Amino acid sequence: MDPQTELKIEQIISARWIIPVVPEGAILNNYSVAIGGKRILALLPTAQVADRYPDVPRTSLDEHALIPGLVNAHGHTPMSLFRGIADDVPLLEWLQQHIWPLEGKFVSEEFVHQGAELAIAEMLLGGTTCFADMYFFPDAVARAATSAHIRTQLASPVLDFPTVWGQNADEYIFKATELHDDYRNSELVYTAFGPHAPYTVSDAPLRKIMTLAEELDIPIHMHVHETASEVAEAVEQTGQRPMQRLAGLGLLSPRLVCVHATQLTAAEIELIHTEGVHVVHCPESNLKLASGFCPVGDLLASGVNVALGTDGCASNNDLDMFSEMRTAALLAKGVAGDAGTLPAAGALQMATLNGARALGMDNLIGSIETGKFADLTAVRLDTLNALPLYNPISHLVYNTGSSQVSHVWVGGRAVVEAGQLTTLEPATIRETARHWQKAISETHS
């Protein structure tokens, strides 16, 4: 190691197992991560640490797996305040009769900021260090994320119709560019365009977004082919499936992140692969709303990058990426009729590196590699449900609960220590959540 690099090492984290994700399935036994200047500077056997770096502060996690911080590639964090408000109804009824009326009544900058804080607290405690978000008042989410010291990519929503956040597509797009300008130099807040869905955004705004995304070099994050009825209605009204329309507009590219994608033909899967489009799979939300099954096995077999997201708390109802990994792996096997579809290591990669890749951030996060940000999650594997232990990756996907997360670092800064938040105040978050619960309960039955 270069002597200058040694001088920059500021802390070392040692773990029983390090799961770097690259290469897929690798397990480093009794290894350590050396950190300096927010970045990973080296990985080395723990046996070498005491002699080489006797004076560097060290965290020893003797019964833990150290993994890259989890990347929740799709959600609507402020909707944590609607958790459980409209369960067990189909998507359109859920949206039109419950969620949209509630949003019209309650959504404000304060609602968004406080809902985002609640969600961020849950995510950090569950090992998530980066999340993609699409919701109104994204600047309020940005402030919450910055204060809590979590990484985020904010896909500013764009729709054809007026909401509390804007009057028309041009205003939404303008606000998205403003947000980008405000945070273009941030290491925590990144931006994207968030056209809501093909059925809520017309051609002209999509063309404008495509041009601006190219100029600003940022992604386009969009709900696409979420339900069979969405696709059928598009065919009835336009004669085209939504994916066909997006292709005709030239929107399919490595910038596009398609969320849900439960309704895909073989030809569409090949088209997605050819154009380098990313897919975000939200298995638990799709199951709860009976939206359909994303063909994860076929997508992966075709070489499509598939990431993992929770969606919002109003349709999930949690932000637990460990649960999401397990559901994704099991569902993929059932849909494909093949127990080898999406093995544990692949599910972990979906929740880390694939998510970073979909967000265009895989050069920064998503794996434990030198030069990347030290976004790390430590998981206890000495709990009774984790014994006996033959393969830590198997346990992380198939039986770990988010409550087993003990430590979380974002850019080398500890944001969870011994299961406790260090950048947020849980008592205050509980108080504000109860305030909103009372207000919403009084108007919704």
Residue indicated by tokens 């304060």:
110
Place 374 in a pLDDT band, splitting at 50, 70 and 90.
very high
Residues 6+ apart with CB under 8 A from 32: 12, 13, 14, 15, 18, 43, 44, 45, 46, 49, 58
Q: What is the number of H-type helices and E-type strands within the chain?
A: 18, 16
Rounded to whole angstroms, what are the CA distances from 68 to 50, 101, 262, 331, 411? 24, 39, 28, 24, 11
Helix (H, G, I), strand (E, B) or coil at 342: coil
Q: What is the mean pLDDT of residues 97-108?
A: 93
The full length of the chain comes to 445
Lookup: tokens for 82: 């609607």
pLDDT, position 4: 41
Amino acid, res. 393: I
**The predicted structure's pLDDT at residue 445:** 61
DSSP character at residue 225: S
pLDDT digits (tens, 9 = 90+) for 211-224: 999 999 999 999 99
Give the β-pairing of 58-68 and 11-18: parallel
**Cα 216 to Cα 197: distance, rounded to the nearest angstrom:** 21
Nearest Cα to Cα of residue 191 among 127, 243, 141: 141
For the chain, the maximum distance between any two Cα atoms, rounded to a whole number of angstroms, is: 71
CB 103 within 8 A of CB 119: no
Residue 193: its H or E element: strand 189-195
Q: Under a CB-based contact definition with an 8 Å cutoff, are residues 66 and 18 in contact?
A: yes
Rounded CA gap, 140 and 117, in Å?
10
Mean pLDDT of 410-423: 98
Q: CA 162 → CA 112, 169, 200, distances in Å?
A: 18, 8, 11
Question: Any idea which residue has 């419950």 for tokens?
Answer: 98
Q: What is the pLDDT of residues 128-155, one digit of tens each?
A: 999 999 999 999 999 999 999 999 999 9
Of the candidates 53, 232, 38, the residue with the CA atom closest to the CA atom of residue 151: 38
Cα→Cα distances 271→247, 249, 277, 299, Å? 9, 14, 9, 11
User: What are 274's two structure tokens?
Assistant: 């050819």
Matching CATH number, 70-358, of 1.10.3210.10, 3.30.70.260, 3.20.20.140, 3.40.190.10: 3.20.20.140
Percent of the chain with pLDDT over 90: 95
Question: 414, 406 in Cβ contact below 8 A?
Answer: no
Q: Which residues of the chain does CATH 3.20.20.140 include?
A: 70-358
The mean pLDDT value for 285-309 works out to 97
Taking the CA atoms of 80, 85, 88 and 89 in sequence, report the sign of the dihedral they define. negative
Here the tokens at position 361 are 């951030």
Cα 234 to the center of its chain, rounded Å: 28
Mean pLDDT of 360-366: 98
What is the rounded CA–CA span in Å between residue 359 and residue 361? Answer: 5
Strands 376-380 and 58-68: antiparallel
Tokens of residue 35, six digits: 């950190």
Average pLDDT, the chain: 96
Q: Which CATH superfamily is domain 3-68+370-411 in?
A: Urease, subunit C, domain 1 (2.30.40.10)
Q: Which residues pair with 128 in a beta bridge?
A: 70
For CATH 2.30.40.10, the residue range(s) in the chain are: 3-68+370-411
Q: Is the pLDDT of residue 7 over 60?
A: no
Indicate the pLDDT class of residue 295, thresholds 50, 70 and 90.
Answer: very high
Mean predicted confidence (pLDDT) in 110-116: 98
Q: Which amino acid is at 126?
A: G
Q: Which two tokens stand for residue 201?
A: 């955004």
- 3-state DSSP assignment of residue 63: strand
DSSP 121-161: HHHHHTTEEEEEE--S-HHHHHHHHHHHT-EEEEEEEE-SS
The residue with tokens 């014994």 is 387
- Give the H/E segment covering residue 156: strand 151-158
The pTM for the full model equals 0.97
Do 405 and 121 form a contact (C-beta atoms < 8 A)? no
- Is a pLDDT exceeding 70 seen at residue 2? no
Q: What is the CA radius of gyration of the chain?
A: 21
